[in-house]
Structure 1
Amino acid sequence: MVTKPTSCTALSCPAVPLHNGLNIPILGLGTSHYGGYSHEAVLYALQECGIRHIDTAKRYGCEEALGKAVTESGVQREELWITTKLWPGDYGYQSTKQACRDSCARLGVDYLDLYLMHWPDSMVPGRSSQEVRLETWRALEELYDEGLCRAIGVSNFLIPHLNELKDCGGIVPHVNQVEFHPFQQPMKLVEHCRKENIVFEGYCPLAKGQALTHPHILELAKKYGRSASQICIRWSIQNGVVTIPKSTKPDRIYENCQVFGFTLTSEDMAYISDLHTNQKLIHLTFPIWKG
């Protein structure tokens, strides 16, 4: 039995401004496929922890279940920040528009707070990824103009992909969501996003649990009287990164929310930053396309 915590809303969870004037909560709850969704955990996050930012994707197969949890939670739609992602198999102008509407229907919402292209590479036979990317982005821009998406962005895009969209002269992505944890710190990409006024959002902040047993992280956890996961999440947030740890366990979600009552020193921030080894974990669960 998990002890009910003080609501996260009472902690005044900070938000990060997007270049269109909206604000995205700096801490959210991530979901995933292959057992990465729990109805109980989402309800707990919304009702007991005050989480208002939830990240999902068509690929994860839990949009419909998430929509039911949101309805059951009783939290008003306008209080929530819901992000979902467009799978490369749906890239293309018309298919993108239909996929967005389908995601809204599964989630039971009239609009998305943030809609992301899940990968830079496409799965459209006979067409270059660049051509399909630009066509897909044009569809996202129109969905944004129509109000179906309050913000639009990308995921796993590198600097050349971002420059490609910039050269088109349309809407600059509001967000780029990329793997970010102590062992994977793409700081050149982070700096580029900041220069272009693109909010950088990081997934896998705990390195799929691998960071939780690292001696440096454990040393700092002991020093601050915090858990290893709280050290990792706090480090990510102090880097100005929107952070979306995943968990299906209520007690872990509660633990992951308690990161606004302490601050890591600059020396300890650097201590964790020194752990960078360019280790990418995403290929363990997702294919990476070429093109």
Structure 2
Amino acid sequence: MKLTSMSDTYTLNNGVQIPVIGFGTWQTPDGDVAKAAVKAAIQAGYRHIDTAVAYGNEQSVGAGIKESGIDRHQLFITSKLFNDAHSYDAAAQSIDRSLQNLQTDYLDLYLIHWPNPVAIRDHWQEGNAAAWRAMEDAVRAGKLRAIGVSNFRRQHLDALLKTATIKPAVNQIMLNPSDLQPAVTKTNAELGLLSEAYSPLGTGGLLGNATVKQVAAETGKSPAQVLIRWSLQHGFLPLPKSIHPQYIQANTDVFDFELTVAQMTALDALHGVSGLALDPDQAQF
């Protein structure tokens, strides 16, 4: 599909429309910084805001959304289940708390943030299944429009699908030229899940890369714009993060150019230059 503006959308497997670029808030400090960043993003044209309980900034993100003056129904808001809430009751309470923090009566997307937290490593399948049941009930209650997962790999998805009655719509994973995660994105495509890309700029580590800078020079764009465009041309949904209004605005200016096959190939070859995604079965949190 040809993308032309920030108002373009992908269609999730349940028919919900999701804006093709989201504003990421991971590592955005709570308080006035997060609030101002979200307001700047909405002013710049973002209509898709991504946060999580684990980021510790839901209330500030909610305040920024409220103060933006944009009608809630024009926005797509995502949050995520924290690692300590992998049970039915805890997940249900977490959803309600996120709604309260974000000052809204529904979320457009809610994700299980991590498939295998240390606290439930010996029974993660049961924990995910229980949390998912609570999320499904929240969908039926009108609190959530779509549900999905984050950092899941094939084994985690297969286990979840054994009991799920609503199919996950999204798998949000680390995706950038340093780690294409081909096995995970292949699984997502096979199962009909949209691949959302967190850390699309390699948490900033790719901005100074020589290949990225060369492609930026060739296209007359910034390294960040090149990386966001790369993500879109792969069919991913990038979630770039910034706290600087000028960069927040610039990161939306990615619809007036296309990367060539040669440029995409050069960027795809940057495996490992800015880190790899954590193995969710080994991470110590």
TM-score by length of 1: 0.90
Indicate conservation of the 8 Å contact 1:58/1:84, yes or no: yes
Provide closer, same or farther for how the CA distance between residues 21 and 116 of structure 1 changes in structure 2, counting only shifts above 3 A: same
Q: 1:182–1:273: 8 Å Cα contact kept in structure 2?
A: yes
Distance 1:246 1:126, change over 3 A: closer
1:23 aligned to 2:17? yes
Could you tell me which residue of structure 2 aligns to residue 168 of structure 1? 163
Do 2:125 and 2:160's aligned partners in 1 also have CA atoms closer than 8 Å?
no
* 1:38 aligned partner, one-letter code: A
Deviation at 1:125, TM superposition (A): 5.9
Superposition deviation, residue 289 in structure 1: 3.8
- Secondary structure at 1:138's aligned position in 2? helix
Are 1:148 and 2:146 an aligned pair? Answer: no
What residue in structure 1 maps to residue 226 of structure 2?
231
Aligned residue identity for 1:28 = G
In 1: Cα distance, 2:237 partner to 2:263 partner:
20
Letter of the structure 2 residue corresponding to residue 13 of structure 1: S
Q: Identity, % of aligned pairs? A: 36
- Letter of the 1:160 partner, please give it: Q
Matched, 1:265 2:260: yes
Q: For residue 7 of structure 2, what is the amino acid of its counterpart?
A: C
Alignment correspondent of 1:133: 128
Q: Partner letter of residue 50 of structure 2? A: D
Contact 2:6 2:46 in 1 (8 A): no
| TM-aligned CA distance change 1:126 to 1:258, over 3 Å | closer
How far 1:134 moved relative to its partner?
A: 1.1
Q: TM-score, normalised by structure 2?
A: 0.92
Q: CA contact under 8 A between 1:122 and 1:132: conserved in structure 2?
A: no
May I ask how many residue pairs the two structures share in their alignment? Answer: 277
SS in structure 1 of the partner of residue 149 of structure 2: strand
CA distance in 1, matches of 2:124, 2:6: 41
In the alignment, which residue of structure 2 is the partner of 1:88?
83
1:44-83 equivalences in 2 (<5 Å): 44-47=40-43, 49-83=44-78
**Does the residue aligned with 2:136 lie in a helix, a strand or coil?**
helix
Q: Note if 1:40 corresponds to 2:36.
A: yes
164-173 or 208-217, which deviates more = 164-173
Asked if 1:103 is matched to 2:105, the reply is no
CA contact (8 A) 1:153 1:175 kept: yes
CA contact (8 A) 1:124 1:132 kept: no
Q: Aligned pair in 2 of structure 1 residues 203, 231: CA closer, same or farther (>3 Å)?
A: same
SS in structure 1 opposite 2:97? helix
* Stretch of structure 1 that moved more, 243-252 or 262-271: 262-271
Kept in 2: contact 1:33–1:62 (CA 8 A): no
CA distance in 1, matches of 2:178, 2:220: 23
The 2-side partners of 1:126 and 1:114 are apart by 25
C-alpha separation in 1, matches of 2:208 and 2:273: 18
Aligned to 1:6: none
What is the CA–CA distance in structure 2 between the aligned matches of 1:255 and 1:271, rounded to whole Å?
23
> Are 2:7 and 1:13 equivalent residues in the alignment?
yes
Instruction: Say whether residues 1:194 and 2:201 are aligned partners.
Output: no
| Cα pair 2:6 2:21 within 8 Å, conserved | no
Please, which runs of 5 or more residues in structure 2 have no aligned partner?
none
SS state of the match for residue 89, structure 1? coil
What is the aligned-residue RMSD (CA, Å)?
2.0
